Structure 1
Amino acid sequence: MKSLLNRRSVLAGPSHLVQIAREHAANPVLPDDKDETAFAATDSSAVPTSPAEPVRPVTTLRPVPVVPSPVYTRGVQIADTAEVEWLCKEEALTPFRVFRSFDYSVSLLFHAKELAYYIALYQDGSLWRALKAPDLEAAEGAFHHFEEQATRLSDGETRRAQLEAQNEQLARMIASSEAQAERLRNDLQRRGAQEQTVSSRQHQVRKEVAQLEAQRVAAQAHLNKAHRQIHQLNLASNEAIPHLPGR
């Protein structure tokens, strides 16, 4: 019995004082052998006997965002598309809001006779889906819901329009660059041809200048020769004149 109590005190850790009734404290009842066996079995199951068992960490609780309920739960109902088309044909609906994104459009329509609101989603001008709301607040919520849906549906159209515009811009830039490159090539070719013409002309001019210079030198030599001959002839002529005495 003492060994069992010592074992329980060691396993259970520090002891705690427990208030009991006076009649039980005056007449304490000790458990018999069967109760000891049952108590030991219960106590051993309550306290882990294997110290090597890993302790599992407790997952920290984090706040989870509350997802708002769909618009259909706030009095919004599915409307009959044929009825909506007939009301539009009869001009019984007044448009409050209109949203359009490429082939998709959303309209918030007011039926004054019934004080009801219709939210219509169109695809390429054809009525696709329609909702009916009893008040403007719920109708605006449904309208924004359809607006987000139309925006998501037209994301591909938006991207396609952007890519088409970018491709057209790139094509224009490529054409402009190619035209500019062609002009530069033509300019370079024309400049090269002009430089070749100028070079040939300069060579021809230098050749003609050399020829003219040779002709000038030959003419100057001939002229000098002629002057010498004239001088000699003058001298010969002067020798034939008799010497006349002066007065």
Structure 2
Amino acid sequence: MKYLLSLRCAILLAVMGASLHGVPALAQEREVPVVGKRPAMNAMTAEPAASTSQAASDTAASREAQGHIAELIQMIHDSKLVELRTTYNGSFGASLFFHPDEMTYYVALFQDRHIWRVIKTQDDTRAEAIYAGFVQQTSQLADIEVHRTQLQAQNVFLDRVIASQADRARHLQADLEIGRTQQAQVNDRQRLMQAEAVALRTEKDKAQAALRALQKQIQLLQRQTEAGLPTGI
């Protein structure tokens, strides 16, 4: 009887112990992941998602800002654009392109056919205004280049004129030296001929005097020969 009473008391104590210690412990273990860990996991997941979204947005914005030149070049290469207007000023130029598929305009500023600025818009009025601004900018940028080209051409022209005039001066100097040499030779010849003429004149005068003397002698001898002869025969 005592044994049965002791056994019954042991069972009752075991059941009471299980009620006091076992069930709350299990309940506490279930509440820890639900209340403690799940909000922490949600917070970590949400933060990287926001950071990734911001990075993607920044990357897209960077590509949008820096990729219009490459985009335009590729679309020109693929013949997807219609060239509406192009203006050249020196090596600078501006072009207005239209993409019919997307109703988009591209306004480009370039030098020596190297594009260095592109504006993309779907507003045709804004595109025309930007194009007009780019054209004015090319005119201003080309002023120094045009002036430099003109000065360079003028210098080249002046160099050619100087070379031509110098060549002409050399020819004239050569002609002058030849003329002076020839003139000196002519003068020497003239002096020689003048001296010869004086000598010939003197010789002529002497010959004429001798002739006159000889004629007088002949006349004298003729009269002497004919002396005593009847006249008129």
TM norm structure 1: 0.60
Write the deviation string for residues 93-129 of structure 1: whole angstroms up to 9, x where unpaired.
1011101233322110011111111101223322222
Rounded to whole Å, the distance in 1 between the matches of 2:198 and 2:90 is 81
Write the deviation string for residues 55-109 of structure 1: whole angstroms up to 9, x where unpaired.
xxxxxxxxxxxxxxxxxxxxxx956222212211221110111012333221100
**Alignment RMSD (CA, Å):** 2.5
Give secondary structure in 1 for the equivalent of 2:226: helix
| Partner residue of 1:154 out of 142, 152, 156 | 142
Q: Which entry has the higher C-alpha Rg, 1 or 2?
A: 2
Match of 1:193 in 2: 181
1:245 to partner: Cα distance: 11
Q: Which runs of 4+ in 1 moved over 6 A?
A: none
2:69 aligned with 1:81, yes or no?
yes
Rounded to whole Å, the distance in 1 between the matches of 2:199 and 2:177 is 33
Rounded to whole Å, the distance in 1 between the matches of 2:231 and 2:133 is 145
Give secondary structure in 2 for the equivalent of 1:170: helix
Write the deviation string for residues 15-40 of structure 1: whole angstroms up to 9, x where unpaired.
xxxxxxxxxxxxxxxxxxxxxxxxxx
Write the deviation string for residues 131-151 of structure 1: whole angstroms up to 9, x where unpaired.
012222211111122223333
Identity %: 33
Q: Which amino acid aligns with 1:146?
A: F
2:108 aligned with 1:108, yes or no?
no
| Partner residue of 1:138 out of 126, 135, 139 | 126
Q: What is the aligned length?
A: 168
Cα separation, partners in 2 of 1:94 and 1:244, compared to 1, 3 Å:
closer
Match of 2:15 in 1: none
Match of 2:206 in 1: 218
Rounded to whole Å, the distance in 2 between the matches of 1:221 and 1:178 is 63
Rounded to whole Å, the distance in 2 between the matches of 1:245 and 1:89 is 136
Deviates more, 1:89-98 or 1:186-195: 186-195
| Partner residue of 2:171 out of 146, 171, 183 | 183
TM norm structure 2: 0.64
Higher-RCO chain (CA-CA 8 Å, sequence separation at least 6): 1
| Partner residue of 1:208 out of 175, 196, 204 | 196
Cα separation, partners in 2 of 1:145 and 1:229, compared to 1, 3 Å:
same
Give secondary structure in 2 for the equivalent of 1:96: strand
Q: Which has a greater percent of helix?
A: 2
